[in-house]
């Protein structure tokens, strides 16, 4: 289980956490554009990347049907295994796209480095910032953080009195409310572009 980290006191780090939360979506689009420009997909890479993409979509969709952002500390469903299933799903998606784009080849290794750098620079500060908010607004967050890992999931769901009190079940209306279907549309569009690049022999 990952260690419990309290809110960051360093003003510079706190400022970067705020910036990271604001730019993570546009930066994600920028990185996706770079991937598409330099992608060299093959039939094999598209097939190998697809399982990771599907796992990422499933995990994000599953988590979005449980979470009540800013109003409740969700501890059921995927949140009983990891505190950040949405971000874990995003990482699986990104890894799947990297494989599909041919970034695991020696000629495109720098694309993989770019992807890792983006997650380290953007998602770690974002997670820490969100944890600081949760710790301030939910008294049981400390106990929850001690039982559930920050990112890599437990093998079994964590149990607590709070989670037993919650009628934790997937709610399709929450999935729609969070517009998580956009991830599915975006993933399908990226895969379609990769397939076209492969079919027409994309060259820079």
pLDDT at position 161? 58
pLDDT (average), residues 112-123: 83
pLDDT (average), residues 108-112: 78
pLDDT at position 4? 40
pLDDT at position 36? 82
pLDDT at position 154? 95
Q: Which of 203, 198, 200 is nearest to 46 (CA)?
A: 198
Higher pLDDT, 19 or 136: 136
User: pLDDT by residue (tens digit) across 46-71?
Assistant: 999 999 999 999 999 999 999 988 77
pLDDT at position 166? 52
């Amino acid at each position: 289980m990952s260690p419990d980290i309290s809110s960051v006191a360093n003003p510079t780090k706190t400022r970067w956490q705020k910036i990271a939360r604001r730019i993570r979506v546009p930066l994600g689009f920028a990185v996706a554009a770079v991937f598409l420009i330099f992608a060299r997909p093959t039939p094999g890479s598209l097939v190998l990347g697809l399982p990771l993409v599907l796992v990422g979509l499933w995990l994000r969709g599953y988590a979005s049907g449980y979470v009540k952002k800013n109003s409740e500390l969700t501890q059921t469903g995927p949140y009983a295994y990891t505190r950040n299933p949405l971000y874990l799903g995003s990482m699986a998606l990104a890894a799947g796209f990297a494989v599909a784009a041919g970034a695991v080849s020696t000629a495109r290794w720098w694309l993989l480095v770019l992807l890792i750098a983006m997650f380290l620079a953007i998602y770690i500060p974002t997670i820490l910032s969100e944890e600081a908010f949760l710790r301030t607004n939910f008294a049981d967050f400390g106990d929850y953080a001690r039982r559930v890992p920050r990112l890599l999931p437990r093998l079994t769901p964590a149990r607590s009195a709070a989670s037993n009190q919650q009628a934790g079940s997937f709610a399709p209306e929450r999935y729609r409310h969070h517009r998580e279907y956009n991830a599915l549309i975006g993933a399908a569009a990226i895969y379609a572009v990769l397939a076209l690049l492969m079919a027409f022999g994309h060259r820079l």
